């Protein structure tokens, strides 16, 4: 059994995955209360599924980019579990999870999460030789800048406001395809699947050195 922890932004998610199915999943909007919400939610989920800590084979965690506070909390809990149970720790970039949700379609993918002050953290993905790959570096931008850079039909997913959704859908060439709000949720079940693939390949990360992915300095208010 693998547990997946995602507190990268105000949207938090947990999942239990056994390699063939998502046994349990919980997602919620947090008003920056990850510290008091995460552990009780995780304990309840494991108790409901009758999964004791010693039954875990691995711990997956979203690495960011995202909220500084949220990332630190999620990574601290994941590291604590991995060290206490002596099991593999598997970090996955937040934007990779969003892109993976839509890996069955063929358009390039532009995945975003909020960065504050009207900006978004962005990752771009394309299918090459039958496999999805991130192209370029993760970066900071605005929805308007991303729309201006479009050269072909592109799927936008992730934390997109209603106003941004309307703006993208009014793109003059119709190249911006925006996922529905439900299809934009960054569910921990997908994080678990990606981490399980790494686990099956014998991969893991060092709990001592694994660090969050930050793209910008801390804001006074996240």
Q: How far is CA 23 from the centre of its chain?
A: 19
More confident residue, 58 or 171: 58
pTM of the model: 0.93
- pLDDT, tens digit (0-9, with 9 covering 90-100), for 1-37: 999 999 999 999 999 999 999 999 999 999 878 889 9
Residue 144 maps to a domain: yes
d(CA 148, CA 145): 5
Q: State the pLDDT at residue 222.
A: 45
Q: In what order do the strands lie in the sheet with 176-178?
A: 131-141, 119-128, 109-116, 154-158, 176-178
Domain interval for residue 45: 2-93+186-200
Does one domain contain both 177 and 193?
Answer: no
CA nearest to 56, candidates 102, 1, 107? 1
Does one domain contain both 178 and 104?
Answer: yes
Does one domain contain both 68 and 127?
Answer: no
Residue 101 maps to a domain: yes
Does one domain contain both 53 and 110?
Answer: no
- pLDDT, tens digit (0-9, with 9 covering 90-100), for 197-219: 999 999 999 999 999 999 865 54
The tokens of 197 are what? Answer: 């693939």
Stretch 44-54: mean pLDDT: 97
Q: State the pLDDT at residue 217.
A: 56
Q: Flag the least confident range among 82-86, 91-95, 105-109.
A: 105-109
CATH code of the domain covering residue 39 = 3.30.420.40
Residue 25 maps to a domain: yes
Number of domains comprising the chain: 2
Who's near 220: CB < 8 A, 6+ residues apart? Answer: none
């Amino acid at each position: 059994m693998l547990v997946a922890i995602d507190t990268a932004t105000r949207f938090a998610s947990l999942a239990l995955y056994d390699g063939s199915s998502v046994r349990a999943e919980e997602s919620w909007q947090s008003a920056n209360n990850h510290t008091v919400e995460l552990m009780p939610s995780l304990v309840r989920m494991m108790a409901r599924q009758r999964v004791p800590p010693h039954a875990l084979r691995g711990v997956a965690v979203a690495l960011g980019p995202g909220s500084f506070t949220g990332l630190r909390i999620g990574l601290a809990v994941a590291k604590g579990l991995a060290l206490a149970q002596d099991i593999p720790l598997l970090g996955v970039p937040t934007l990779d999870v969003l892109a993976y949700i839509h890996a069955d379609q063929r358009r390039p993918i532009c995945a975003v999460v909020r960065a504050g002050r009207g900006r978004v953290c962005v990752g771009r993905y394309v299918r090459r030789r039958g496999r999805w790959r991130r192209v370029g570096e993760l970066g900071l931008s605005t929805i308007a800048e991303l729309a201006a850079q479009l050269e072909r039909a592109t799927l936008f997913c992730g934390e997109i406001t209603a106003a941004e959704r309307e703006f993208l859908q009014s793109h003059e060439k119709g190249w911006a395809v925006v996922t529905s709000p439900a299809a934009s949720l960054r569910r921990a079940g997908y994080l678990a699947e990606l981490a399980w693939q790494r686990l099956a390949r014998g991969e893991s990360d060092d709990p001592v050195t694994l660090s969050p992915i930050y793209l910008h300095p801390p804001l006074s208010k996240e």
